[in-house]
Structure formats: structure tokens, C-alpha cells
Amino acid sequence: MSSRIELSHVGQTFWVRGDEDKQLREFVALDDLNLEVAAGEFLTVVGPSGCGKSTVLDLVAGLAEPSSGRLTVDGKPITGPGLDRSVVFQQYTLLPWRTAAANIEFALEAKGGMSKKQRAERARDYLDLVGLTEFANRYPHELSGGMKQRVAIARSLSYEPEVLLMDEPFGALDAQTRERLQEELIGIWSRTGTTVIFITHDIDEAVFLGQRVAVMSARPGRIKEVIAIDLDRDPSGETDVRASRDFATYRHHIWSLLRQLHHETDETTTEELAHA
């Protein structure tokens, strides 16, 4: 099962204290942001630092309420967190006193409706899916960074959410582990059909994973452009799609957009400082 997500005219404003006068001021993090994610789509999001990527994810996760606009999952307004949507953060959020399998079982306990035996079986299935069958009884401190993140992904998938929200989940990993996990994630996604929103700072990662890449602008945070990625992926993994001409073209287009946005943000900041 997967779900369609829609954000229309979404705005998010925070109250922040000025550096100089310590007065509270409104800070517009998102303004009139519109985005649709189709059921079963893999959408990646890139944008300058501080443009509001995590804010968007928090809103879809139901961890925060927007100041304006509307967010829906399959047409129903998002009013808070729900087991239909699962979040994977950059930092591994495993319970250190529980084994890999027990971490997953714990999440399933929270969902309810499953016997102990069913939970144990489900945990095994999802550890198999992320290639960690042999490590079910290891504690987090006995696992590598990449393995911990795979357990976190298995845990998020185990309660079979319709939507998987990923906030730079591979950001803390070395380049090789990161590439391997990207490939595994594509495999898992094609098997489960979950709708994925994946935030990253890495253009290559965005192009490799996304069926579409949403590029955000900063100040205010909006969707600048959404680029459909049509790459000839080789399911056997034998061909290096990252080395293809098409990949380089997409990469360069997004790089140029981000560079332009970076200049625009710098100019806005200079103007704001001049008027402060």
C-alpha cells in the first residue's frame, strides 16, 4: 500500500529573537509551497542549507502544524503523527539495550494487534530484507554505522507504512556504505511500493534515487523546480548508471540551479542586513 501526498499553499512561520535587539520577529521558513507526491513515487528533495527541507518533512510527518495551507495524505488532512507515515532520521535512533530484532519488535508492540510470535517473525523478515539476517541478536554497539541505519530502515518498514519519510538518512555514512545502501533502498522500494520522500544534500544521491527531484529555494522556502529523472537503471547493478551521460546532465542541471539559488540567498541576506 502507498499513499498520495499533497501540500497546497503551505506556509510555516517561526518566532525568532533578533541577534542585536533580542526582539521577537516572525521568520518565514516556508511560503506558498505546493507539491504533489504520487502514490508509490520516490521523490528526493534538495535545496540550500536552511531552505526548509526538514520543516517540510516535519509537517508531512505531522510533528508540526503549518501556519497556513493544507497538507493531505490520500485527500485526508494531516492532523498529527500516524503509523501510516514513518520517519528515518540521520542519526540512528535505536534503543541501545535492545538487540536489532528486539528494536524492531518494540516498534511493532507500539503498533499493536500482533502476537509476540508474529512480531518476532515480522522482525526477521525485515532484517532479511535489509540483509541483516545474521545480525538479529546483536546490540547496536556491536553493529557498524551502516548496519545501524539498516536496522532503523527495517524498523520503519516493518510496520508497513504507506509513506516513508527520510531526512538525510545516509548523511553520516562513508561514501561506499552510502552507495550500497542507496542501491538497497531502491531494491526495497521497488519491492514494497511505498511512497518515499527523501531529503539529501547530495545531488548525486538525489538523482540516483529519485523518480523526481524537487529543488527548493530559500527565503522563503518554496519549490523552485521539480525535475523528472528518466534513467536507464540496470536492475542487475552491473552497469554504473552514475557514470552515464544522462546522469551527468541531470546532475549539472540541479547543480546550476542550486548555485543560482545560493547567489540569490546571499543577495537577500545582504539586503536584509542592509535594512536591519
Ligand X SMILES: Nc1ncnc2c1ncn2[C@@H]1O[C@H](COP(=O)(O)OP(=O)(O)OP(=O)(O)O)[C@@H](O)[C@H]1O
Residues of span 122-141 touching ligand X by CB under 6 A: none
Q: Minimal CA–CA distance to 199: which of 53, 10, 31?
A: 53
Q: How far is the CB of 171 from ligand X (least distance, A)?
A: 9
Q: Identify which of residues 49 and 176 has a Cβ nearer to ligand X in the complex.
A: 49
Residues of span 13-52 touching ligand X by CB under 6 A: 14, 16, 27, 29, 47, 49-52
Is 53 a binder of ligand X (CB under 6 A)?
yes
Is 55 a binder of ligand X (CB under 6 A)?
yes
Q: How far is the CB of 58 from ligand X (least distance, A)?
A: 7
Q: Identify which of residues 26 and 142 has a Cβ nearer to ligand X in the complex.
A: 26
Q: Identify which of residues 52 and 169 has a Cβ nearer to ligand X in the complex.
A: 52
Q: Identify which of residues 138 and 201 has a Cβ nearer to ligand X in the complex.
A: 201
Is 169 a binder of ligand X (CB under 6 A)?
no
Q: How far is the CB of 83 from ligand X (least distance, A)?
A: 24
Binding residues vs ligand X (CB under 6 A): 14, 16, 27, 29, 47, 49-55
